[in-house]
C-alpha cells in the first residue's frame, strides 16, 4: 500500500478549515492564560521550580519528598476548582466559567510538570523507563472524597518508610507523565525504579504479585500492568509485553538545536521576536507578546521559509497547553522544567509567557536523509487522525510504543535495512530540538550489527533507541 501521506496530500494539508480551527485553539489558549489570577500562580511555580533544582534539596531523600508534598498541597487547593468550574459551566450559559476551569487546569498541570522534571532527574533521564511509566491512563485529581484521601495517607506512610531507609520515592499522582503504579523507589538516581501500588490496607509490589502468580491467583488490571512494567524495565524492553522491542542503548555525543532556541528566546526578550533556521528542515520562532504585539496567525499560518507544497509538521508550546487542558498526555516528551535554559525561560515556555513555534519540513527532512543514504516514509492507518490534522500538533504525535504506533519507516538505501519508528521521531526534533544526525545514530548502529549477521539470524528492526549521553543535555 502506498504512503497515506502522499494520498492524503491531495486534500490540501493547508485547508482553511483546519488552519482556522488550529488558530482558534491557540487564541483560546491565549485568552485563558492572559489573566492576572493565572500569573499569580505562575510566580509561585517559579519559586517551586527553583526549589526542585536545588541540589541540596533533591539529593536528600527528605528534601526530595518535601518538594513533592509542596506540589501535592498546591494541587489539593487548585484541582477541586476545575471540577466545580466545569460543573457550573455545564449548568450555565456563562462561558467565562469554563475559561476559568481551563485556567485552573493549566495551573494544576503546571505544578505537575515541575514534578515531571523531578521524576526525570530521579530516573536519570532514562527515556525508555520514563516511557514505560507513561503507557497508561491519566492520573486522577488529588483532592477527592474520604476514601481516596485515606489511600493518600497510606501513600505518605509508605513513602516515609522508603525515606527512613535512605531511598528516594516518587509520588506518581503529582506528575503528568507517571501513570503506572502509585510510587517509584530508587536507591540512587538513575536506578531501575521499584514500583508499588498503594491500597488502603495493603501494599502491592512486583513481589506480592509474583506470589499471587505462583498460587495461580487472578490478577487485577492494575496488578497486571504494574508487573509487566516492572519486568519490561528490568529486561530493558519496551512496548507490548507479549511482543516487546529491545531498548538499544548507545553512548554518543548528543547534537541539538538548544543553543539556537536559547538565542531566539534572548532575542525575543529584547525585541519581541526571535528567529532561527539552524538546519534546512527546521524553522524556529519565539515571541514575547509583552514586547511585541503580533497576531498568532502571522506566525502560525505561514510556513516560511518552506514552499506551499512542502509537507510540514507544526509544534508549539501553546499546542501543548491546549492538549493539557484536554487532559491529554504527551508521552515521552521531556518536560520544559528540565530544558537547558534559565528557570525563567523554562517556566515561560511551560505556562505560555513565551510563544514557541516550530515548523518541521518533512520534505526537507526526507531530502537530508536521502543525502545520508536513508529513505523516510510515513504510513498512517486510515482509522487514525488525518495527516492534515496531525500536522498542526496534537496527541497523535505522542502515541504509544506498540507495533501499531510505528507509522514511520526508515530504510537504508545501500543495505536494505528497515527500521520501524513512531511519530516521536519528529517530536524529538520539533519539540526537543535533537538533530537528524542524533536521531540516526542508534539506527546506524543497529544496521551495522544486523547486516553482519546471516539473514536467518536478523531480528525485528523495531528498537527503542536510548542515548545514555542524553542526560548531559538536560538539567
Coil, helix or strand for 59? coil
Q: Which residues contact 262 (CB under 8 A, 6 or more apart)?
A: 340, 341, 345
Number of domains in the chain: 2
Question: How far is Cα of residue 7 from the mean position of the Cα atoms in its chain?
Answer: 29
- Predicted model pTM: 0.88
Cell numbers for 325: 487542558
363 burial class (0-12, 13-18, 19+ CB within 10 angstroms)? middle
Q: What angle do CA 218, 220, 222 make, to 5 degrees?
A: 150
- Separation between Cα atoms, residue 327 and residue 323, nearest integer Å: 6
- Assigned domain for 25 exists: no
Question: How far is Cα of residue 193 from the mean position of the Cα atoms in its chain?
Answer: 19
- Assigned domain for 246 exists: no
Cell numbers for 459: 531480528
- Assigned domain for 30 exists: no
Note the pLDDT of residue 61: 96
Both 325 and 388 in one domain: the answer is yes
Q: Please, are residues 352 and 318 in contact by the beta-carbon 8 Å criterion?
A: yes
Both 461 and 368 in one domain: the answer is yes
Both 285 and 386 in one domain: the answer is yes
Both 436 and 375 in one domain: the answer is yes
- Separation between Cα atoms, residue 415 and residue 413, nearest integer Å: 6
Both 317 and 424 in one domain: the answer is yes
Both 341 and 271 in one domain: the answer is yes
330 burial class (0-12, 13-18, 19+ CB within 10 angstroms)? buried
Both 192 and 295 in one domain: the answer is no
Note the pLDDT of residue 10: 34
Both 191 and 56 in one domain: the answer is yes
- Separation between Cα atoms, residue 198 and residue 149, nearest integer Å: 12
- Assigned domain for 126 exists: yes
Both 12 and 43 in one domain: the answer is no
- Assigned domain for 240 exists: no
Provide the phi-psi class of 105: left if phi over 0, else alpha when psi is between -120 and 50, else beta: alpha
Q: Which residues contact 69 (CB under 8 A, 6 or more apart)?
A: none
pLDDT in tens, 80-115: 666 666 666 666 777 788 888 899 899 999 999 999
Coil, helix or strand for 165? coil
Both 355 and 461 in one domain: the answer is yes
- Assigned domain for 241 exists: no
Residues of the chain with pLDDT under 70: 1-17, 79-91, 136-151, 297-305, 308, 382-404, 455-461
Q: Which domain holds residue 395?
A: 4-19+253-472
What is the full DSSP assignment across 423-444? Answer: THHHHHHHTT-B-HHHHHHHHH
Cell numbers for 301: 499560518
Amino acid at each position: 500500500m502506498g504512503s497515506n501521506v502522499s494520498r492524503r496530500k491531495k486534500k490540501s494539508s493547508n485547508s482553511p478549515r483546519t488552519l482556522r480551527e488550529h488558530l482558534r485553539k491557540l487564541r483560546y489558549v491565549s485568552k485563558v492564560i492572559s489573566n492576572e489570577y493565572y500569573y499569580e500562580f505562575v510566580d509561585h511555580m517559579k519559586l517551586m521550580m527553583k526549589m526542585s533544582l536545588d541540589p541540596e534539596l533533591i539529593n536528600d531523600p527528605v528534601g526530595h519528598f518535601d518538594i513533592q508534598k509542596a506540589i501535592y498541597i498546591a494541587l489539593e487547593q487548585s484541582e477541586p476548582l476545575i471540577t466545580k468550574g466545569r460543573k457550573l459551566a455545564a449548568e450555565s450559559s456563562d462561558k467565562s466559567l469554563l475559561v476559568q476551569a481551563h485556567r485552573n487546569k493549566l495551573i494544576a498541570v503546571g505544578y505537575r510538570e515541575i514534578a515531571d522534571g523531578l521524576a526525570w532527574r530521579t530516573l536519570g533521564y532514562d527515556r525508555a523507563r520514563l516511557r514505560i511509566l507513561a503507557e497508561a491512563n491519566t492520573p486522577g485529581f488529588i483532592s477527592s472524597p474520604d476514601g481516596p484521601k485515606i489511600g493518600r495517607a497510606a501513600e505518605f506512610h509508605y513513602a516515609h518508610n522508603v525515606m527512613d531507609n535512605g531511598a528516594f520515592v516518587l509520588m506518581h499522582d503529582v506528575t503528568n507523565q507517571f501513570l503506572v503504579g502509585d510510587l517509584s523507589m530508587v536507591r540512587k538516581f538513575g536506578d531501575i525504579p521499584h514500583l508499588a501500588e498503594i491500597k488502603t490496607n495493603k501494599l502491592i509490589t512486583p513481589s506480592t504479585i509474583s506470589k499471587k502468580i505462583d498460587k495461580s491467583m487472578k490478577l487485577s488490571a492494575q496488578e497486571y500492568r504494574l508487573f509487566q512494567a516492572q519486568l519490561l524495565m528490568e529486561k530493558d524492553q519496551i512496548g507490548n509485553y507479549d511482543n516487546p522491542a529491545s531498548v538499544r542503548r548507545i553512548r554518543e555525543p548528543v547534537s541539538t538545536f538548544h543553543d539556537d532556541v536559547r538565542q531566539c528566546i534572548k532575542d525575543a526578550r529584547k525585541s519581541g521576536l526571535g528567529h532561527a533556521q539552524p538546519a534546512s528542515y527546521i524553522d524556529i520562532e519565539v515571541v514575547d507578546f509583552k514586547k511585541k504585539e503580533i497576531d498568532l496567525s502571522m506566525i502560525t499560518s505561514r510556513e516560511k521559509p518552506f514552499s506551499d507544497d512542502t509537507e510540514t509538521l507544526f509544534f508549539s508550546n501553546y499546542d501543548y497547553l491546549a492538549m493539557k487542558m484536554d487532559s491529554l498526555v504527551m508521552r515521552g516528551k521531556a518536560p520544559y522544567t528540565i530544558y537547558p535554559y534559565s528557570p525563567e525561560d523554562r517556566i515561560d515556555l511551560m505556562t505560555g509567557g513565551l510563544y514557541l513555534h516550530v515548523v518541521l519540513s518533512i520534505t526537507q527532512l526526507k531530502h537530508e536523509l536521502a543525502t545520508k543514504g536513508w529513505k523516510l516514509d510515513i504510513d498512517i492507518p486510515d482509522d487514525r487522525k488525518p495527516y492534515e490534522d496531525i500536522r498542526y500538533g496534537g496527541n497523535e504525535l505522542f502515541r504509544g510504543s506498540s507495533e501499531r504506533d510505528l507509522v514511520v519507516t526508515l530504510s537504508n538505501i545501500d543495505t536494505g535495512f528497515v527500521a520501524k519508528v513512531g511519530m516521536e521521531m519528529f517530536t524529538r526534533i520539533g519539540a526537543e530540538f535533537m538533530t537528524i544526525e542524533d536521531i540516526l545514530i542508534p539506527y546506524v548502529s543497529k544496521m551495522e550489527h544486523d547486516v553482519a549477521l546471516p539473514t536467518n539470524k536478523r531480528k525485528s528492526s523495531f528498537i527503542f533507541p536510548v542515548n545514555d549521553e542524553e542526560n548531559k543535555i538536560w538539567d
